[in-house]
Structure 1
């Protein structure tokens, strides 16, 4: 920018396409957090630089391999989690969208937004690996994945649910029953207990068997509370992972 502003050099400002490429590269390096898509894309400074050193299994590898591996994890993680929610974009589509910042012809904008939102949430997870998880952490993740903004006081984004929610299931007698999740009045206290347990497990050194048990405990604990009006499945997988 200093060079551009020097009148003696008479340099032309970079094109919008070049600026977008620079921003995408900074986002991939963890220096910026990218949220939204197309005209709604926003970039913010990362509170802590996302470095592969936070993930122990990447230590000792060349930097380019570390970054490449992180991108593969991001793509697989985002694709599989959103696909469970009904997103029809393939793994190849997901990679293309996140790497190139473009859209897939014939696919709904909502599905593109889900991909961007989940990838942004992964960046937040990386940034908070060495910090205690809090209710605010949970709210930030919810805001990241809920890219489809709903202006409804009964469907708050970044806040606990205010209405009852539940799901239908089939019991052992082959009868359809409705299962209610935690009451909104109990959600804050239950989530405080959940977060306390999560932080306790994160401080422990777990082997593979105990790690799987911890994952299941955290995942099931979250979905049984179902603290948000929407996005609980994606959040349960993000937090447990």
Structure 2
């Protein structure tokens, strides 16, 4: 069973996060850019991208990295744009639908598809993970993919407000991966969908790490339900990662609040210079 105590603890951590004053615009922009970089780097690394974090950051800033795979470079460009698209969906409060799912994948694979018309198109052939026997294939048959995606959207509409936000996000990810609707980009699309679900409920972006050990833990959690469709291990895994993220975010916000309070106390200047709402004469 899903660890309900952990989910309740996540709700408590989120309430703590919401209780802090927000970061100022410059610090918030820096944190958001760092979060985006971590997502693009790690999500691509999970899929085998060989670029380093520094190389990923350079490409995201528009700098050409010499002697690197063109495919790896274009994956960074595509995922960076898909991440921005996800953020736009959150800002405009778009409900999940089939078009959004297609468009996320379309952007994720746009520059690396041999035929761009395949980006966002459902696969026409059957596929399976290389690690499982043919008779235990968890992925949907190609002929069933359109209907399975419709079912996923219906499930989302029914459960988006019923389930705990982290449980909902994890199950959305899991269900999408078991459909595996596209020829390429399913993992990156799934992680964007999960974070879309988390962020629209006020939770921070949860970046799953791409190093070998954590990648294996992630894959193991996904594959735990292959035989019986039990999503609980994966929900618990995402809950643990969300807990780590919330704790880190709360540490940042608590530090920011403490720094502001200390700065207000530690000054010899007259009150005018301690009032953040007044302009300081220069």
Q: TM-score, normalised by structure 2?
A: 0.56
Name the residue aligned to 1:23: none
Within-5 A mapping of 1:141-180: 141-146=104-109, 147-151=111-115, 156-170=118-132, 179=137
Name the residue aligned to 1:106: 67
Shift of 1:59: 7.1
Q: Does 1:76 align with 2:38?
A: yes
- The superposition leaves residues 205-230 of structure 1 with CA deviations (integer Å, 9 ceiling, x where unpaired) of 83xxx61x333311211111000011
Q: Does 1:237 align with 2:171?
A: no
Q: Which of the pair is proportionally richer in strand? A: 1
Report the aligned-residue RMSD.
Answer: 2.6
Shift of 1:197: 2.5
Structure 1 164/59 Cα, relative in aligned 2: closer, same or farther at 3 Å? farther
Q: Distance in 2 between matches of 1:235 and 1:110?
A: 17
Q: Distance in 2 between matches of 1:190 and 1:231?
A: 17
Q: Distance in 2 between matches of 1:151 and 1:161?
A: 13
**1:224 match: secondary structure:** helix
Q: Distance in 2 between matches of 1:199 and 1:118?
A: 26
Shift of 1:87: 0.6
Q: Distance in 2 between matches of 1:198 and 1:170?
A: 28
Structure 1 62/205 Cα, relative in aligned 2: closer, same or farther at 3 Å? farther
Q: Distance in 2 between matches of 1:102 and 1:220?
A: 35
Q: Does structure 2 retain, via aligned residues, the 8 Å contact 1:120–1:144?
A: yes
Structure 1 104/96 Cα, relative in aligned 2: closer, same or farther at 3 Å? same
Structure 1 205/127 Cα, relative in aligned 2: closer, same or farther at 3 Å? farther
Unaligned runs of 5+ in 2: 1-17, 196-282
Name the residue aligned to 1:120: 81
Q: Distance in 2 between matches of 1:83 and 1:128?
A: 24
Shift of 1:108: 0.8
**1:169 match: secondary structure:** coil
Number of aligned residues: 176
Q: Distance in 2 between matches of 1:234 and 1:218?
A: 13
Q: Does structure 1 retain, via aligned residues, the 8 Å contact 2:83–2:192?
A: yes
Q: Does 1:192 align with 2:159?
A: no
Structure 1 81/59 Cα, relative in aligned 2: closer, same or farther at 3 Å? farther
Unaligned runs of 5+ in 1: 1-55
**2:114 match: secondary structure:** coil
Does 1 or 2 have the higher relative contact order (CA < 8 Å, sep 6+)? 2
Q: Does structure 2 retain, via aligned residues, the 8 Å contact 1:226–1:232?
A: yes
Q: Which of the pair is proportionally richer in helix? A: 2
**2:140 match: secondary structure:** coil
Q: Does structure 1 retain, via aligned residues, the 8 Å contact 2:122–2:145?
A: yes
Name the residue aligned to 1:43: none
